[in-house]
Amino acid sequence: MEKRIFAAIGISVALLWLWAVIAPRLFPELARPKPVSPPAKSVAARPSPTSSANPSPEVAAAPAPPTAPVAASSRIETEVRTDEYIARFSNRGAQLVSFKLTRYLDKSNQPVELVKARPASRTDFPFAIESSNAALNSRINQALYDVNVDGDNAGHVRSIEYRYAADAVSVTKTFKFGQPYLFDVSMAISPALRYRTIIGPGLRTLAPEEHDNRIIITGNGVLQRDGSFSAINREKGDRLRIFDHVDFIGIEDNYFLSVLRPQKADGAVLRRVDFKTSKDDREELYAGVNAAPDGTLVANVFFGPKETKLLDRYGLASALQFGMFGIIARFLLEVLVWINQATKNYGWAIIVLTILIKIVLYPLQHKSIVSMKKMQKLQPKMDAIKNRYKKARTDADQRQKMNVEMMKLYQQEGINPMSGCFPIVLQLPILWGFYGLLSRAIELRGAPFIGWIHDLSDKDPYYVTPILMTITMFIQTWITPQTGDASQRRVFLIMPLVFGFIFKDMPSGLVLYWLVQNVLTIVQQMIMNKWWKDHPAELQAAT
């Protein structure tokens, strides 16, 4: 009995060994590994709780010289879903064909698409490859790559690997996901050649109403080298700019950003080309990172919004430029976000902030009104001095004497003729700070106020607030104590029309700030006018 058992075991082992030897030859398709993700299936990605702010992806190794062709038989699109975006990668060229931000909507209430639309015949989607060999470029950017998707047990994507090999050339592209708006890319081509991968052209497809909008600026290049940030106008400068190294390089608009941050590379470029579609015809920039001499390239990639805290976290804070008075804009944004926690409406938050600014500037503005009142009282004496030198206005010496006499009068009465300008001078940095804030802070993009104002970062569609602002400026100018001659007063009365014309296309949030500021100044001026009328003795005491 035992002999039979041992004989059965021996025969079974022999049969299994024989099957292992001959099966791959009889049924070769059984030995070929199958891809993890079939063409019809989309899987989603989620952020990894253990990922760091600045990941260091593994350096890609150059693929071994191909021994057999590697390619797919049909086009496959793999969808990567997170709470922040929906990305679609195509195995045609192993490129990114769509990147939609689910938390930000365009004018048609669709998720913002950061990959610019282009004709189907083009093969220059993000992560296309460029080299000096045009024929090779065309082949590897149109090839159908073999796809291998790695996901967790919940079906969330962790990485996508694309492989292609033919005619003695092997290409591998790997994308790894984990953090909000940030992922890693590594590439390798064998035999090694000089190439680069690109993102662009430009950023986003502009909506029709955005083409002629002075506020929307899209498609400019951005780069940082050794901690120094630069913005490159897409229409100016050389058509090709080469950089031996960069901290990061990419494309921006007011609210969104796409950048490559090299980990293993050999310099970067910004390239300007004529880009034509059925809806668009303009010059656009591509941003590219060059591969290392061994044919490998590794980089972090950011496609996302210019959220202040997000850019700070990823070391991209320099890309958020608020303009000349950026420090003031950044402070105002922090205060607005804090106030909005209570108001739940950025329009009311702007009004509250305007009142706070008015309170802070009140002492200086009060002193200015006092000075203007005193100058108004001194106007007869000032006119007398001017009349004495009326015939000698063309004489420089006489005019100098008139100015000296006027200054003596100011000193005797304790008046600073420039004090009336101080509040205006102080308001200008705040005004420019608000402009930079409202035109670039994504926190206020699409923020509604009341009624017809659906976006505080966009102009008032019916020009109601610019008209009210102009009217309040007229009232403010009319009730303000006047000094100087009649012609100067007429100039002041023209200024509201000038400001109204300038502000009509400005962000409605900026117009709201200036409107509330005017209303508060009118109230303050009316109270002061009443106070000085009833208490003229106070004029003598306020020196």
Report the interhelical angle of 508-534 vs 346-377 (nearest 10°). 40
Q: Any idea which residue has 């639309």 for tokens?
A: 117
Cβ-contact 329, 267 below 8 angstroms = no
Residue 92: DSSP 8-state: B
**Which is it for strands 157-166 and 77-81: parallel, antiparallel or unpaired?**
unpaired
Q: What token pair was written down for 315?
A: 């070391």
Burial of residue 485 (CB within 10 Å: 0-12, 13-18, 19+) is exposed
Is the N-terminal amide bond of 191 cis, ω within 30° of 0? yes
Cβ-contact 256, 116 below 8 angstroms = no
- The tens digit of pLDDT for each residue in 434-464 reads 888 888 889 888 899 998 999 998 889 999 9
Number of other CB atoms surrounding residue 254 within 10 Å: 19
Cβ-contact 184, 175 below 8 angstroms = yes
Dihedral pair phi/psi, residue 541, rounded to 5°: -80, -30
Residue 60: DSSP 8-state: P
For residue 349, how many C-alpha atoms fall within 13 Å in the half-sphere facing its CB? 23
How many Å apart are CA 130 and CA 133, to the nearest integer? Answer: 8
Q: What is the pTM of this model?
A: 0.77
Cβ contacts of 122 within 8 Å, gap of 6 or more: none
Q: What token pair was written down for 162?
A: 């694309």
Number of other CB atoms surrounding residue 406 within 10 Å: 17
Q: What token pair was written down for 78?
A: 């793999």
DSSP of 430-462? HHHHHHHHHHH-GGGTT---STT---TTS--TT
Block mean pLDDT (10 aa), the chain, length 543: 43 45 44 37 42 51 68 92 95 96 89 88 91 93 95 83 94 95 96 93 80 76 94 87 95 94 96 76 90 95 94 92 84 93 95 91 73 72 74 69 77 67 72 84 90 90 94 86 61 82 90 92 81 51 45
Number of other CB atoms surrounding residue 302 within 10 Å: 22
